[in-house]
Structure formats: structure tokens, C-alpha cells
Structure 1
Amino acid sequence: MRQTRDSIADIWGERTPYIDNWSVRVDERTLEEPDSWIQSACVLCSNGCGMDIGVKDGRIVGVRGRAVDAVNQGRLGPKGLHGWEANNSPDRLTEPLIRRSGKLEPASWDEAMGLIVGRSKEIIDQHTSLGIGFYTTGQLFIEEYYTLGVIGKAGLGTPHMDGNTRLCTATAGAALKESFGSDGQVGGYHDIDTTEAILHIGHNIASQQTVMWMRILDRRRGPNPPKLVVIDPRRTFTASEADVHLAPQVGTNVPVMNGLLNLIIEAGQINREFIDKHTIGFEKLKQTVSCWTPERVEQVAKVPAQELRKAAEILGTAKTLVSTVLQGVYQSMQATAAAVQVNNLHIIRGLIGQDGCGILQMNGQPTAQNTRECGADGDLPGFRNWANPDHIAELARLWNVDVDVIPHWSPPTHAMQIFRYCETGSIKLLWIQATNPAVSMPDLSRIRSILGKDDLFVIVQDAFLTETTEYADVVLPAAIWGEKTGCYTNAGRTVHISHKAVEPPGEARSDFDIFLDYARRMDFRDKDGAPLIKWSDPEGAFEAWKKCTRDRPCDYTGLSYAKLTGGSGIQWPCNEKFPDGVNNLYTDNIFATAADYCETYGQDFDTGAGVSEQEYRANDPKGRALIKPADYLPPHEQPDDEYPFWLTTGRLVYHFHTRTKTGRSKNLYNAAPDAFVQISQEDADKYGIADGDFVAVESRRGKVIEPAKVGDIKQGTLFIPFHYGYWDDPGRSRAANELTITEWDPVSKQPHFKYAAVRIRKVEG
């Protein structure tokens, strides 16, 4: 065994202070000496670190970071160094399963796919394609997402396609569209290397993007360290490093951001020339935030006025600024509204489109960016506007189908509505890929009830049996990372290729091959009678995807398998004009807001009501950034006498999602084997609770029992990690989403996991 460091005990490794550049450090962990190394990238967070897969005798035996990759320069976090062990887990699914007489039993691929296709055709005949829905993931490859998107939108013509990216990253895309006219991160990770200040809001980056945190720590330990402001109700690893830590009340991100914007505007720390030339909406923002004095913010958000002023001084005087946003914003009240205020901070200061000034509306999953780009969720491929007839016509020409085949009469159906349609019976077939909604969705008792309906045909495509496969009529064994070839894009727009290193176990197939088989059996055709899906291998799918992106913001036309092989990942847009990719978007201060080009016409933050095409064109921004203010709306469920605590949920450094992979790595499992409830020392004393005591936590929807972890959280607030379900421990109720609410942001439609009213009691015995 070779291990360059114990990443379980030493999560971020030794510091290499940044001086002239970020130095190379190759992290490696292998159980045996590999016969060969195969190029890939990590898929256990959205950072997308370049890595090589070590192979011996046809098995994965380890990984190492790729020194040449600009994203990580050889570094890997604990999930990257250990998570690959799931590939070799003895409980991998190796053959299709069909439910017979209430029990899942082995079947052939022909039986399983024949049943799926037969049921699909039956539903289409009786209910049209509106009876079919897809719930996918943030972990597939570009080639798979695009194939799925074409099947759904041009083959079946169903609007009911979304992913679990709706739970983690929908607000990232929505916020970028609302401010800049299109999805796509404004900057990149390289901005950390030169920036004077960093803002993390709702983003415990030390745990969630460990390698990016290494980069920040190395800057902070070198000369000219950037100032750090962290906004988070918990004292996390990230918050402990901050120069200023603001710990707001749950659900008050908008008041905090409005207070910061107000102080910066009052101090004259804005770029008036930039605002006048390149933006719309500043005066309305100024008016909206003017009443949010530090004292009012303290009253509403419980952030001391003095600390708010300290944060505003850093954010208002820095000549460059990097801001990152994640689930503490995206999964809370006024998600899109709050995320947009971070954009507004950069816009009014003119800190955009230049080195050191990145806005990273982060993703929660490794390939969530591709879900949005490829149309495998509630978006159209290539960041096209579903309300723009010309954009629909472009897709119709590209796919050679009639315009009316492509659903565009209303916005595509978001995940929460898909499950509602399953609940009401209008969706008859739900195909779930590489995700586990029976643990990850809110209000789990409701989700279990929906998945268990007799009139819902459930297909689950996964590598393991999960809490969700318990409700499946058909289970398809899927190949995973390392067992197939494809490309994917991280949260900083960097595209990597992952070459197939080993064969999948047994009869497991790649998601790509499963989709191709479905399309062939369904006999999807274009309007000339030729097969709709015109590619037969991943590289062919990538070339087709490139054509779909031409002249769109996410232009891939300059990329190829050959170009992505051997070196670093490359940021899009990559085309004839930018053959080596682009570090920062909008360097010319022309944004993607023109009416003919934009991805959306915008929505009202409070109601979600869409701006019409006519209204948008009447006030065409013509390339100017949109400054959109928001005033405070309190969470709809709040603590009261019966349920006196706030509950918030989140992630741990050692696990990914519902631990389908990380829970099968012995070291990651042992590092965090169980859920817990984090409680303040004051609240623990009041209830007579000590570390390790079991605590019953109950909401209006359910109850869990968790061991207590005391300290580092605001009084009156509790935290439970959401990773833990029942596949490895069915003995007690412990899934955090037994407690969470069925509610979502009006714009992004992202569910609210970050607040619920709960009560507690110590469990004796």
C-alpha cells in the first residue's frame, strides 16, 4: 500500500504557501502497485479534480492526483482518495431485476428492457408521453445527459424530466440567469490565486470542496493573504478560519446581504461608471436596501451590527473579490433572491470579468453543470430559452424533428412537481437514474408513499440496491465512474475526460448504453424516418453535443477527446476564437442578456411569475447586467411554543449524498459512521444533554433519534447531516429528511432543506 498522507486524519494536507504560483503536490493512495494509470477526474464533489486511476489485473487499486491539472495540481481530498473502493464492493448490482409477486428477482436485459419499452408504449397509447417522467442525477457524463435529453425532448416529447440537481444546484443556474442572462460561472478557481478578499455565504467549503479550500489556505499562508468573510449559522472549519464570521438566523440571507449592500452604497464604494454603462436597475436596489441598517439587520438576522460593518469594510474596499455560494443559500428561504444579491455585490462594485473577481455560484454535484447544459433537467440544451420560439426552432433543425414535438408550451417540469404528478396519478412511469430520493427528498414519508403507489411503474438505474430500489418494478445495474468513458464539467466550467479503466461487474451497463438500447427499442425517428439518435459511442455523442453548443455561451466546439487527453481540463467556451478556453466570462462587459440570446426572460423573486417575451423585449437590456433587488420574506414555518427549535441540514467532509459510494469505503465509513444532531452548549445544558446522548428530534412530519454533538452552533438551532438512511442501519429512524418540509423557491424550484421547526427530548436508556 502506498499513501502519501492520511487524508482521513489530515483532511487538507500540509500547507504550501502561495508565493508566485500554486505549487504541485501529488496525493496518491493505492492498495497495490498499478500495472497502468488511466486519466480521469474525481466525481465526489463539484470541484472536479484531475486524477489518474490505478489498475492492476483488471481492477481499480488506487488513485493519484494529476499534477498537470489546473484545477488541483495533484491534490485530492479524502473522498477522492478513498471513494473509488465502492467500485470493488461485493454488493454491486450485476444483473437486471424485475419485481415478481412483490419480490425483486433476476432477469435478462432483454426481459427488463422489453418490460420497460412495453410499459412505455402502453402509457403513451393511453395517456400520451405526459404519462412518463425522468428523475436523473448530477453524476452522469455529458454524452449520457445529452442522449437522455434528446430522448426525452425529441423522442418522447415529455416535459417531465429533471434531476436531483434540483435539490442542490438549481439556484446556481437561476441566479446566474437572472443577473447575466445565462447560466455559466462568471469566473473560475484561478481567481483565488490573485484576489484580495473572499466571501463564502452558505458554503462550508472546507468540508464540501476540500481541494479548493487547500488553495485558499495556501493563499492565506503566503504573502498578501486575502481577507475572508464567512456567512454561516454554524462555526464550521471554514468559519473558524474567517477574519469575520457572520452567524445569521436561519432563513435571513436576504437581510444580511441587503445590510452589506446598503453599507457599501452609503460609503460610496461602488463603481458608478460601470453601473451607468453596463447595468440596469441600480436605483431600485439602492432604494430597497436603504432601510436595512446594521441595527435592523441585527434585530432580524441576529448578526451584531459591529460585525456586519467589519464585513462590509472588507467587501467594500477590496480591489478584487471572489464570492462562493452554496446550499446555505440555495436550500433556504428566498434562495434565488439571496444568491442574486451576491451577484449584485460584484456588479455594483464593477468586480466582474477580470482576474481575481470570480463569482462561483457553486454546484453540489460533480456533473451538475452538465445536467443543466445538456437539457437533462428543467433546462433546454445549450442554455437555450424555452420561451424563445427561435431557440426551439434551432433545436428542431438540429435534431431534424418538428417544432411541436419539443415541449415548450410552458416551463419544463421541475422535480418537486414531477413527484406531485406521480402522487396525483398523471405520471404513470418514473425512471430514476443514479439517485436515491427515498433518502434525499424532503418529507420522506410522503416520498415513500408516492414511490409505493400501485399505479406508478418505477424504474431505478443504479450500481447498488438502495432505499429507493425497494419500491422499484425494474432495477437496471449501471456501470459507474472508472467503468466507462465520457466527459464532465466542474463548477468552474472546466471540462475533463474520464477514460474507461476497467470493465463493469457482471452484466452491468453504462447509462449511455442503456439509453441507446431504449431509443433503439422504442424506434425513435426523425422527421425523415432516420434514427433520432445518430451516434453509437460516447465520442460520437460528444461530437453531436458540440454541434448543439455552437454559438451558445457553453460553446464546446473547440474541444475533442484528443484535446482533453493527456493534459489539464479546459474551461469552456472553447472554440475557434478561444482555442484554449476562457478563464473569465464577460471581460468585455457585454453580458448574455440580449433578448434574442438570453436563456431566460426572468422571474419575480417572490411569486415565480415569469416575465413575458414581449415585456422583456420592450426593455431589452442589450448586453447589460441586470441588478435585481429583493426585500425580506420570513420562512413560512418558524419555531413556536410547540416546536421551539430551528432545524437545518447539510453535509459532512467524509460523505457524498446518501453514502451509496462513500459508505462502502471502510475508512470513510469509519470516519463518520452515523448521523448526529448538533446542538448549542446552552440548549444542551437546558435539556440535560451531553455529547453522545441520544436525542429525539421531531417535526410536524416525522421523528428521528440521533446522538448529540454539543457546540459550535447558534442557540436555538439544530443541525443534522442528511447523508444517512437505512440501507446499512435499518434499526432506527435517522434520515434527516423525515423532518424537512415540502416547499421550494419560487424561481429555482429548489426545495427548502435549511429550515424546519422541531422539538427535542433526551432519550433515556
Structure 2
Amino acid sequence: MGISRDSISDIWGPRTPYHGEAQWPVRVDERTLAEPERWVQSACVLCSNGCGLDIGVKDGRIVGVRGRAVDASSRGRLGPKGLHGWEANHSPDRLTRPLIREAGRMREASWDEAMELLVRRSKETRDRYTSGAIGFYTSGQLMLEEYYTLALIGKAGLGTSHMDGNTRLCTATAAAAMKETFGADGQPGCYYDIDVTDCILMVGHNMAATDTVLWSRVLDRRRGPNPPKLVAVDPRRTMVAAEADIWLAPRVGTNVALLNGLLHLLIAGGQLDREFLARHTLGFEQLEATVADYPPERVETITGVPAARLRQAAQLIGTAPTLLSTCLQGVYQSHQATAAACQVNNINLVRGLIGRPGCGILQMNGQPTSQNTRECGADGDLPGFRNWDNPAHVAELAQLWNIDLHTIPHWAPPTHAMEIFHHAESGSLRMLWIQATNPAVSLPALGRIRSILERPDLFVVVQDAFMTETARLADLVLPTAVWGEKTGTFTNVDRTVHLSLKAVEPPGEARADFDIFLDYARRMEFRDKDGEPLVRWRTPEECFEAWKECTRGRPCDYTGLSYAKLTGGSGIPWPCNERHPEGSPRLYTDHIFPTDPDVCEEHGHDLQTGGVVTATEYRALNPAGRAFLKPAHHMPLPEAPDEDYPFLLTTGRLTHHFHTRTKTGRAEALRAAAPDAYVEIASEDAARLDVQDGDMLRLTSRRGVLEAPARIVDIHAGHLFVPFHYGYWDEPGRARAANELTIFAWDPVSKQPYFKLAAVRLEKRAAPGTAQPEDMAATRDRQGVLQAVGTAAQSALKAVESAVAPPRAHVSDYLGLLLASEEMLADAFDQVKANHPKVPDVERECTVFAGWSRQAAQDLQAFQDRYGTQQEGEPRRLQRVLVHAHATSTGFNLLRDLHDLYLLANEGFISITVLHQAAMALRDDSFERQLEAMRDQNGRQRRWLETRLQQAAPQALVVPS
């Protein structure tokens, strides 16, 4: 047995001071339980840093790990999770055989039986309800090859738009902010920037706990020559805050106001690069006007940060020759997440500090392979950072996969995780396949999530290595191999790609996720246009080669990489291609950003409403490779403390645990270091409520209850903090999951849930008084119908289901609406023509437009025969109040008639829009073409009406008549 250091008590290890790019000294951390027979190349998957390590193997078992000295990400260092987390591989409660729920209870099954059930339910669901009734919810723990295979299955095999991962919970805002500012995902900066920067700004990023090896890199720089200054933004006094030269502690939910205040001071003080702004950015004037409303005194009122301290921070940031900015969950999971993250980008951009050593932005990831989830399209985006709203990108992907373009879901923004679960809640999602994640603990409003997963009309598949809280609620459980038991690649925060080789066999019959996906695709008989298997690869390396072609010419270009090139040395960052044969540590060194309309990954959003910028609007901006400076005003919290719930709860991570402790909770030293949840409370609140350290507290929100012991800390009065890792698989006997309390709501742009702003009340308790919400010893009860089940209970369930009206598609409803709208609009044009016979252009245009609408109604008859119609009454109700006959034709009467026509035309436009989306989802080309023709005519009608209204209004309203 060997151990280089005690990483549990000495988390970051001894200091090795340094200065200079790539000059961080080597320190090899190692922990083994026996002398390995061999070492196998890999990297750590228990935070997003991506530390290179070797796996020690003896007698077919993992016996330890050591850091890889050659790896640029970590230089041999490992954190406590990396040194201990591998013990979970040997946990005695690993799943080793598939499990099928029958009569409310789980039983073991063969792989053939399990896969036949999965395929049968997939086909039944697809054939009866369409592929739109199937959803995937994946992880940030799989490998690139698994994500790409999954994306191909979902997007090209089934053609469902319902794909996302738990990266939505931790890094969706990182991706969103980079798309909004730079046009595409991908970190502009790199870890090397820490080596040489003069100043580090950490916003909502407790790096000391979340990225321990990266934090040791920062500490080593700060103990060496020319140490960088550190500005920390965090409402809690974390290790990072204690280390910082300036600590800004805003109230929860006020990040945008604080960052606007910093930008205000930088601009007012002239600490900006006007030449860079003019040549390489768009939107500075709007940004300047917005932040002008945030002088330090107003920022202090909103955030609680003293104006003098804000000025000190701005002076430090504004005078630093180089600047590295980072942020994480304190931004991403809080109020106005994307808006705040974009302001972090703006700070570097207004100073022109990007694309050169020491000048970068790290919109950090929360999980080790979340970058791959996003790159490969397993989170709903299109693979290779392609734009779902760019027909050329969709066509390119269809050609690459040799499938029909219309198979790929691209008719609307991808469905995000919270909306997927809402679809399941409403009954429109009938099958949900979950891989390597635990939403029954990690999603917000857990009571609601459990009730969704327990729905009798939802077939839940869980693919995991352990019987998690989510697996307990599943219909089918597929046992998987984990890290060290399979081969693949993954990409860390600064785009560095690592190869992880299979070191040992998985236990029992557990399979790699990659092999499960291949088996599923084969059994589903997914084919391309030539009748060949859709999934053409059989090994991870073959998949990697196919993935390289998917990235060719895209921002995340992997074409210069290979398994051979990734073997033996350090990980290599993308883009890696002919231009950058050894990879590119930094992006945008030429200050040309991927914002060109033909390149960009997204057209952007309104940061405050989430409204999508159209392709036409985006092209009109003419970005021409310039970055966007997108401003936003501070907005009030969606749920604020009040008399009934006077405290504001925020949640977060701990050093010794990852996600829901599925792995780290099974490593003895990590579990002992952080055995249970707790509630951090301010000393002022503790004194007022007579709370001592260790007292049991009960927190109650509008959604649930949590009980945990108190810890008195340096935090804003009125704020509370609870770590989110703890659930129920190890039977705590009480409600302790932080997400029992959090809200089912999300950022309007990134769709990342709000985990850091739940209003709660607090009571001191002598002892816990709640029951454990999910009894891990019991079976799924199917909402009480199948618990302790027998034939009678199953019959009762069938009777309940049969009493409900059979499901049907609702295309016919909107087809009826549109038909009625067009007929009514034709009649209305005729009436307006009759009302104003002496207005020549009105008579002429109304005749033409009435003819268009009648012809459109006639053309819809073919689709009535195909889909049926449900006659709805909304248009006829409008007709009763709009467009009446007039005794005289006056200017004001004409204005009112044009107004009414515009309202009626918009009624039709809405139905056309809705049906066009449905036609694309149905892959009905003829229906789609008909609706596009109608949309064109409707647009011409509305444009004429809008112009005519503008002409008629001044005379009719201003001149007395």
C-alpha cells in the first residue's frame, strides 16, 4: 500500500510556487492498496478539471491511482475525490444483472429479455404516439463515443427532439453564455492562463471545493513570484473568499446588478480598449447605456456590497495588464444566470483581454464530460456545434449520417430537461430513458419529480451502476460498466481531450453504455437511406473516427486527434487539425469570433425574456466575426422571502462529494469526511433564534421539508446554505435532500434550474420529525395502485386507465382553427371592401386578399381528409366583435376596419405557425409546403395592413372629423 499524501485533511497538498506558462512544477499524487501489476492510462471523472491519472491494476481489480506527471491539466496532482473515488467500482451493491418491474416488484432478467422489452416498448410508443413521446435524459459522466452514439440514435434513429442531460443542471449556462457572446460553445481560455495572468476574477466559483487541483494551481501562483491578484464574488465566506485580495459578497440573486456596477466603473474610469471594441465587438453603446444606471451607491442598495469595496475591485480589475475570469454555479444556478454570465464575458471584452496569455474566460463546467454532452448533441443541440436554426447545418448533418433531412428534429429549440419532465407530467411523454444520473435527488422540487417518475403511463428506463433513488422508481434497470471498465475519450473544461483505457472488466453482466446503445440500435433496425445500419461503428475507436468527420471545419475540430496520438502523453485541446496539429490552448487569438451567420451555433436570445432571435434578425446585425456585448438590467427574484418564508436558501457542492454521492458516498474516506447534510446559518440569525452549532433545524418551503443540523458561518443574514449531494439511498430516515425545497423554474435563456433562490422558513427541533420521503427498502408504488400488488390492484389500474378518454393527436384541432380563420378572413376582406367602395387601393387589395384566403381554405381540404378537423369556435367569436358594416366610410372607420383585419390575419398566422411546426414533426412534406405558401401570403397580407394602418392613423386620429 502506498499513499503520497493525506488528501482528506490536506485537500490541496503542499505548495510549489511558480510563474510562467507551462512552468507549474510536477507533483505526483498516488494512492494504492496493493502494488499494481500494471498501470493503465486514464483521467479522473469526479470533477470538471480532467486530471490525468493512471489506474493501478492487480489480479483484475483496481488497486489504486497515481497522477500523470506529463499531463498539462494537473501535472501529476489529484484531489481527494480522484484519489479515493475509484473505491466505488468495488462496492458490493453494484448492479450486475438487468432488472424488470413486474407486479410492482423488481426481478432479475437476462439481457435478451431486458433489451426485447426496451425495444418493444420503444416501437409501441413510437408507433402509437410518435417519436415525440420518447425522451432521453443523460449525464455528464459518459464518454464522448457514448454521447455521439446516443445522439445518432435519438436524432436520426428515432427522430425525437427530447434529449437532454444533467449538464442542464450545471453547465447549460456556460454553453449559453458563450453562444450569446462568441457565437459558439467552447472555452476561450485555458488553464495555462493561470500560470501568467496578473488578475483572477472568480464569480460564484468556489474553486477550492469544486476544482481542488485547479485551486492548488492558483494557490501555487499566488505563493510564487509576481502573484496574481484575486477578486472573489460569493455571498459565503468560502476558502476562495478568504484567500481573495477583495471579496465581494452580494445578496443572493443580485449578480447582474453587481457585474453591471463593475462595468459601470470600468467604462466611467476609461479602463477599456476602445480600438478593440470598435473592431471586434457589437453592442457597446447599448451596454454603456445600460450600466450607466448602476453607479456604486445604487449597486450597494441592491446587492449589499459596499460602494467603496466595489470601487476597489473595479480599480484592481481595470488596471491589471491581463485578466482571467471564471464562474460556476453561483452564477449558473442563480437568478438571471445567462445574463450574469454574459456580463462576466463583457468585463474581459471591454478591456480587450482575450485570446492571449493570461487573458481568458473559463465558463466552468460542473461535470467531467459535460463538454462532450454539448459537443456531441446528447443535450439536445446538434452535433459539432451546428445550429438547429440553420438549414445548411441540418442538411450537412443529414448528409454525414446519410439520412433524410426531415428526420433530424430542427423545427424548434431543443427540449430542455425541465420541459422533458413536464411533458412526462402532462402525459405527452410516454417513455423516458435515463442514463448515469439521478434526477430523483438532483432535480428541483423532488416531490414533483417523484410523482412524475411514478406515473403509471410513463415507462421509465434507468441505465446505471447502482440502485439509485431514481433506479428504485424505474420499470427497467440496465446495469452498466463505469470509468475504468470501458474505453473512451472525454474533454475537460479547457477543451483538453483525454483517452481513458479499459483497465478491468465490469462486474457480473454489467455492460458499457456504448455496447447497450449499439445493441439497441441493432435491435431497432435503424437504417440510413441506403438501407445500411445507421450506426456504422462497432468499437469506441471507430466511433471516435466517425466523430472526427462530424467536427471537420466546425469550431470543435477533432480531425487532428486519434487514439494513438492521445496515448502516452498529455491530453490535447481542440481545435486540433492541420492548422493546429498539437491543439490550440486558446481560442480567438486573432480576435475573430464564430459569429458569422453561416458558422454560428445559435442566433441568440433576449437575455431577460429568453425570446429567440430569428435568423433574419441575426443576419441584419452583420456580426462579421465580432463578439456581442449583450447587456441586461437587474430584475427582482422569482421567489423572494416574505412573512411566511423569511429566509432565502441557496444550495451548492462540497469538496469531498460529487453529484448525488452515487460514487463518492461509497468511498469510505470521502463518506467519513462529509457524512451528512447541514444548514449554514448566519451568526445574527442564529443568535436571534437561539440556534447553536449542531442543533437540528427544519426548513420548509412551498414544496417540501428538509431537516439537518446547523452550522453557524459568515453568510448574509437571512440567507441559508445546504449542500445538495444528499439523498436517501443510504437510509438517513429523514427528509434531507436540498431539492425537496427548490423551485421548478429556470433561467429563460439557458433553461438551467434555479437551485439558489428558494424562500423557506426555519424552525429549531429537538430531533428530526419527518419521514424519509423515498423509502429505499420499498418498491415503486405506482401512486399507490401497485404497492403490495396483486391481480386485483393491477385490474384496478387498468380500469382507471380505460376510463380516461383515449389519446389522440391534436393536429385536427388547429386545422379546424386555421380553416375557420381563412374563411372568416376572406369574409372580412369582402366586408371592408363593401364598407369603403371609394377607397381604390382598399377595394383592389381586399379583393386579392379575400381570394387568397378562400383558395387557402380550399387547399386545406386535402389535409382535412388526412388528419380530420375539430371545429373550434375562437375565430367565429372574433368575427362577432370585429369588422361590421358601416353606414358611412370615414377615415376613422377605415382605421378601425384595418385594425380588425390585422387582428384576424394574426389569428391565422398563429395557427399557420403552430401547424407548420407540427408538419415538420410529422415529416409531412406536402403539408409543410402548403403551410409555407400560406405563411408567405399571410405575411404579405399583414405587411400591407401594417403599412396601411400607418398611413391612415395620423389623419384619422389627429384631424377632427
Q: TM-score, normalised by structure 2?
A: 0.79
Number of the residue aligned with 1:30: 32
1:650 aligns with 2:621: no
Number of the residue aligned with 2:906: none
Number of the residue aligned with 2:424: 422
Please list, as runs of the form range in 1=range in 2, the aligned pairs for 1:64-75 lying within 5 A after superposition.
64-75=66-77
> 1: distance between equivalents of 2:207 and 2:16?
19
1:608 aligns with 2:610: yes
Aligned-partner residue type, residue 6 of structure 2: D
| CA deviation profile, 1:551-602 (whole Å, cap 9, x unmatched) | 0000000000000000000000000110000011111111000011000111
Number of the residue aligned with 1:250: 252
Number of the residue aligned with 2:181: 179
Report how far residue 620 of structure 1 moved: 1.9
| CA deviation profile, 1:193-247 (whole Å, cap 9, x unmatched) | 0000001101000000000000000000011100000000000011110000011
> 2: distance between equivalents of 1:687 and 1:679?
11
> 2: distance between equivalents of 1:553 and 1:49?
24
Number of the residue aligned with 1:475: 477
Is the CA contact 2:4–2:30 (under 8 Å) kept in the aligned structure 1? yes
Number of the residue aligned with 1:6: 6
Report how far residue 718 of structure 1 moved: 0.2
> 1: distance between equivalents of 2:617 and 2:641?
40
Q: Say which of 566, 572, 575 aligns to 2:577.
A: 575
> 2: distance between equivalents of 1:270 and 1:51?
42
Q: Which has the higher contact order (CA 8 A, sep 6+)?
A: 1
> 1: distance between equivalents of 2:19 and 2:137?
46
Number of the residue aligned with 1:84: 86
Q: Say which of 216, 219, 226 aligns to 2:218.
A: 216
Q: Say which of 660, 663, 683 aligns to 2:665.
A: 663
> 2: distance between equivalents of 1:563 and 1:127?
46
Aligned-partner residue type, residue 16 of structure 1: T
**Deviates further, 656-665 or 10-19:** 10-19
| CA deviation profile, 1:318-366 (whole Å, cap 9, x unmatched) | 1101111100000111100000001001111000010101100000000
Please list, as runs of the form range in 1=range in 2, the aligned pairs for 1:527-542 lying within 5 A after superposition.
527-542=529-544
> 2: distance between equivalents of 1:719 and 1:371?
29
Number of the residue aligned with 2:386: 384
Secondary structure at the residue paired with 1:382?
helix
> 2: distance between equivalents of 1:519 and 1:763?
54
Aligned-partner residue type, residue 299 of structure 2: V
Number of the residue aligned with 1:116: 118
Report how far residue 526 of structure 1 moved: 0.2
1:461 aligns with 2:466: no
> 2: distance between equivalents of 1:680 and 1:131?
47
> 2: distance between equivalents of 1:642 and 1:615?
45
> 2: distance between equivalents of 1:508 and 1:160?
27
> 1: distance between equivalents of 2:551 and 2:404?
20
Number of the residue aligned with 2:791: none
* Structure 2: segments with no counterpart, 5+ residues: 768-961
Please list, as runs of the form range in 1=range in 2, the aligned pairs for 1:361-760 lying within 5 A after superposition.
361-760=363-762
| CA deviation profile, 1:663-691 (whole Å, cap 9, x unmatched) | 00000000000000000111111111111
* Structure 1: segments with no counterpart, 5+ residues: none
| CA deviation profile, 1:508-548 (whole Å, cap 9, x unmatched) | 00000000000000000001100000000000000000000
Report how far residue 711 of structure 1 moved: 1.2
> 2: distance between equivalents of 1:729 and 1:16?
42
Please list, as runs of the form range in 1=range in 2, the aligned pairs for 1:132-281 lying within 5 A after superposition.
132-281=134-283
Is the CA contact 2:57–2:63 (under 8 Å) kept in the aligned structure 1? yes
Aligned-partner residue type, residue 82 of structure 1: H
> 1: distance between equivalents of 2:316 and 2:483?
42
1:316 aligns with 2:318: yes
Report how far residue 730 of structure 1 moved: 3.9
Q: How many residues align?
A: 765
> 2: distance between equivalents of 1:168 and 1:600?
20
> 1: distance between equivalents of 2:380 and 2:265?
37
Secondary structure at the residue paired with 2:385?
coil
The structure number with the bigger radius of gyration is: 2
Is the CA contact 2:19–2:196 (under 8 Å) kept in the aligned structure 1? no
Report how far residue 615 of structure 1 moved: 1.0
Aligned-partner residue type, residue 720 of structure 1: V
> 2: distance between equivalents of 1:150 and 1:750?
24
Moved segments of 4+, more than 6 Å: none
Report how far residue 429 of structure 1 moved: 0.4
Report how far residue 19 of structure 1 moved: 3.8
Number of the residue aligned with 1:54: 56
| CA deviation profile, 1:684-722 (whole Å, cap 9, x unmatched) | 111111111100011111111100011121111000000
Secondary structure at the residue paired with 1:748?
coil
Aligned-partner residue type, residue 16 of structure 2: T
CA RMSD of the aligned region, Å? 0.6
Aligned-partner residue type, residue 556 of structure 1: Y
> 2: distance between equivalents of 1:19 and 1:653?
26
> 2: distance between equivalents of 1:296 and 1:211?
38
> 2: distance between equivalents of 1:626 and 1:714?
34
Secondary structure at the residue paired with 2:100?
strand
> 1: distance between equivalents of 2:134 and 2:293?
49
Number of the residue aligned with 2:18: 18
Number of the residue aligned with 2:289: 287
Aligned-partner residue type, residue 15 of structure 1: R
Secondary structure at the residue paired with 1:309?
helix
Report how far residue 36 of structure 1 moved: 0.4
Secondary structure at the residue paired with 1:64?
strand
> 2: distance between equivalents of 1:182 and 1:90?
43
Which structure shows the bigger proportion of residues in helix conformation? 2
> 1: distance between equivalents of 2:622 and 2:456?
50
> 2: distance between equivalents of 1:353 and 1:366?
24
> 1: distance between equivalents of 2:504 and 2:724?
31
Q: Say which of 335, 339, 342 aligns to 1:340.
A: 342
Secondary structure at the residue paired with 1:615?
helix
> 2: distance between equivalents of 1:303 and 1:642?
27
Aligned-partner residue type, residue 91 of structure 1: D
Secondary structure at the residue paired with 1:228?
strand
Q: TM-score, normalised by structure 1?
A: 1.00
Is the CA contact 2:19–2:195 (under 8 Å) kept in the aligned structure 1? no
> 1: distance between equivalents of 2:474 and 2:75?
42
